[in-house]
């Protein structure tokens, strides 16, 4: 197995969600979300109803992947932070533990300095949670719920 | 690398469409996008040049339905086919669960197909995957054009391990969903084994 499978359990999800919820408030952000490096959305908070988070997640991961590729060419390990400044909205992107990506979208109600400060603290917390999660996933006995699926289950998906 | 979310009760898998430039990877995704129920799809994103050549990737999220109470979501990506975008292709293969190779059936593109399959094998190996082990299907596209190689010839050149293969005309949709279903089935079957 190349990468351990990414698995999210209720306990860790709740921990992550509370970090993300708090970050929205502490950083005066509009939206905060967490994506894994392959572009899968893990958690989101804030004004997400009018936002295409799935697309944003995949583009963020693509962005981090491209930046990581540039870093490699410059013999850097990673560029862990990115900031994009727009007329109204700004995006702060932070790589956490080289594993997941923390994205903060904010407007003029906040500032880059505040976002940076709060992101730093949240990153540390998230790093601990994801480290624990990874250990849990690697423990024996953590079977996939898909171990028992049948050919029929799979075929039924396509009977429309 | 699939992502199982017990909280949201969903499983996410990544499928990458690979192949030489202009073989029809983006056209496959466009057809899937057009023919899928709005509830089951997200927005299709294309990072393309001004002349509509794929620059980085196309992305289409699809929901296929539930298995054992888990929603199955597939994220479809294409790579840029043009030879000089190799660095981008490598990035898109990260975390892949299944690959579709779209071959251009035209006689003039035989070498381009072979180079692209070799490139796929090399780039997968760099990520620690083997083309012989990963869920993998092939589509022989553009079967409606003149001067195309026979399926037997293409099979001999591109499919030595006899993975599932399909004839396609992506522009009109022939073979598009058969290809997608085949790779999705292989990916889900692989999940049963606890891979990839």
- Model confidence over B138-148: pLDDT tens digits? 999 999 999 99
For residues B55 and B142, give the distance between their C-alpha atoms in angstroms, rounded to a whole number. Answer: 22
pLDDT exceeding 70 applies to what percent of chain A? 93
Q: Say whether B7 and A10 touch across the interface (CB within 8 A).
A: yes
Instruction: Please say if the pLDDT value at position A16 is more than 70.
Output: yes
pLDDT score for B46: 93
Greater confidence (A4 vs B102) lies with B102
Tell me which chain B residues have a C-beta less than 8 angstroms from the C-beta of A160: 65
Q: Which of B68, B94, B194 sits opposite A153 (nearest CB)?
A: B68
pLDDT score for A50: 87
Q: Say whether A157 and B188 touch across the interface (CB within 8 A).
A: yes
Which alpha helices (H) appear in B67-175, and where do they start and end? 86-92, 110-126, 151-158
For residues B104 and B159, give the distance between their C-alpha atoms in angstroms, rounded to a whole number. Answer: 14
pLDDT score for A4: 59
Helix axes B25-34, B176-193, angle to 10 degrees: 90
pLDDT tens digits for range B68-83: 889 999 999 999 999 9
Contact criterion met (CB below 8 Å) for A38 and A60: no
For residues A29 and B28, give the distance between their C-alpha atoms in angstroms, rounded to a whole number. Answer: 38
The neighbouring-strand residues paired with A34 are A43, A102
- Total domain count, chain B: 1
Give mean pLDDT, residues A72-88: 94
The dihedral through the CA atoms of B156, A2, B123, B85 has a sign that is positive
pLDDT score for B125: 97
| Confidence band, pLDDT 50/70/90 cuts, at residue A147 | confident
Greater confidence (B77 vs A146) lies with B77
Give the CATH number for residue B20.
Answer: 3.40.50.300
Beta strands across the sheet bearing A41-46: A41-46, A31-36, A100-106, A90-96, A81-85
Q: Say whether B12 and A58 touch across the interface (CB within 8 A).
A: no
Greater confidence (A5 vs B15) lies with B15
pLDDT tens digits for range A26-36: 999 999 999 99
Q: Which two tokens stand for residue B127?
A: 């990520």
CA-based nearest distance A7→chain B, Å: 5
Q: List domains and CATH numbers for chain A.
A: 10-157 (3.30.450.30)
Q: Say whether A2 and B196 touch across the interface (CB within 8 A).
A: yes
Q: How many CB pairs under 8 A join A and B?
A: 135
pLDDT score for A2: 47
For residues A45 and A7, give the distance between their C-alpha atoms in angstroms, rounded to a whole number. Answer: 20
Q: Which of A20-24, A77-81, B2-6 has the lowest average pLDDT? A: B2-6
| Confidence band, pLDDT 50/70/90 cuts, at residue B186 | very high
pLDDT score for A157: 81
B139 at interface of A, judged by CB pairs closer than 8 A? no
Greater confidence (A2 vs A95) lies with A95
Domain, as residue range, for B152: 3-193
Hey, of A35, A71, A130, A157, which one would you mutate to test binding to chain B, going by the most B CBs within 10 A of its CB? Answer: A157
Read out DSSP for chain A?
A: --SPPEEE-HHHHHHHHHHHHHHHHHTT-SEEEEEETTS-EEEEEES-TTS-HHHHHHHHHHHHHHHHHHHHHTT-S---EEEEE-SS-EEEEEEETTTEEEEEEE-TTS-HHHHHHHHHHHHHHHHHHHHHHHHHHHSTT---TTTT--HHHHHHHT--
How are beta strands A41-46 and A81-85 bridged, if at all? unpaired
Contact criterion met (CB below 8 Å) for B25 and B19: yes
Measured CA distances, A93 to A33, A45, A49, A121, B163 (Å): 10, 15, 20, 14, 40
pLDDT score for B143: 98
Give mean pLDDT, residues A87-110: 95
Q: Which of A2, A7, A146 sits opposite B127 (nearest CB)?
A: A2
Give mean pLDDT, residues B29-42: 94
pLDDT score for B35: 94
| Confidence band, pLDDT 50/70/90 cuts, at residue A107 | very high
Give mean pLDDT, residues B11-25: 96
Give mean pLDDT, residues B119-129: 96
- The CA angle A83-A89-A91, to the nearest 5 degrees, is 25
Contact criterion met (CB below 8 Å) for A136 and A142: yes
Give mean pLDDT, residues A86-108: 95
Name which of B149, B147, B150, B179 is nearest B24 in CA terms: B179
pLDDT score for B196: 44
Q: Is A62 exposed, middle or buried (0-12, 13-18, 19+ CB in 10 A)?
A: buried
């Amino acid at each position: 197995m190349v990468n351990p499978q990414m698995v999210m359990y209720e306990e860790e999800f709740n921990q992550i969600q509370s970090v993300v919820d708090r970050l929205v408030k502490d950083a005066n952000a509009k939206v905060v979300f967490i994506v894994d490096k392959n572009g899968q959305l893990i958690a989101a908070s804030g004004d997400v109803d009018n936002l295409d988070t799935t697309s944003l997640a995949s583009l963020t991961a693509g962005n981090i992947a491209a930046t990581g590729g540039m870093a490699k060419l410059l013999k850097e390990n990673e560029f862990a932070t990115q900031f994009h400044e727009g007329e109204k909205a700004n995006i702060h992107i932070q790589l956490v533990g080289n594993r997941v990506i923390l994205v903060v979208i904010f407007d003029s109600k906040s500032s880059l300095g505040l976002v940076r400060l709060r992101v730093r603290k949240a990153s540390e917390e998230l790093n601990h949670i994801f480290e624990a999660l990874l250990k849990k996933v690697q423990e024996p006995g953590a079977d996939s719920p898909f171990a028992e699926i049948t050919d029929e289950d799979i075929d039924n998906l396509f009977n429309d | 690398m699939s992502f199982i979310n017990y909280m949201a009760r969903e499983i996410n898998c990544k499928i990458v469409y690979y192949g030489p430039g202009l073989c029809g990877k983006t056209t496959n995704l466009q057809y899937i996008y057009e023919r899928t129920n709005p509830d089951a799809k997200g927005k299709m994103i294309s990072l393309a040049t001004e002349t509509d050549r794929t620059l980085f990737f196309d992305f289409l999220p699809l929901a296929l339905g539930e298995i054992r109470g888990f929603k199955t979501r597939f994220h479809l990506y294409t790579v840029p086919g043009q030879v000089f975008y190799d660095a981008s292709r490598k990035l898109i293969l990260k975390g892949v669960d299944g690959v579709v190779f779209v071959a251009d059936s035209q006689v003039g593109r035989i070498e381009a197909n072979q180079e692209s399959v070799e490139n796929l094998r090399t780039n997968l190996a760099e990520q620690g995957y083997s083309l012989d082990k990963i869920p993998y299907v092939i589509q022989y596209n553009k079967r409606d054009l003149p001067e195309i190689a026979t399926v037997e010839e293409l099979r001999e050149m591109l499919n030595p391990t006899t993975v599932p293969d399909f004839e396609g005309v992506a522009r009109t949709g022939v073979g598009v969903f058969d290809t997608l279903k085949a790779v999705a089935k292989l990916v889900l079957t692989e999940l049963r084994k606890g891979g990839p």
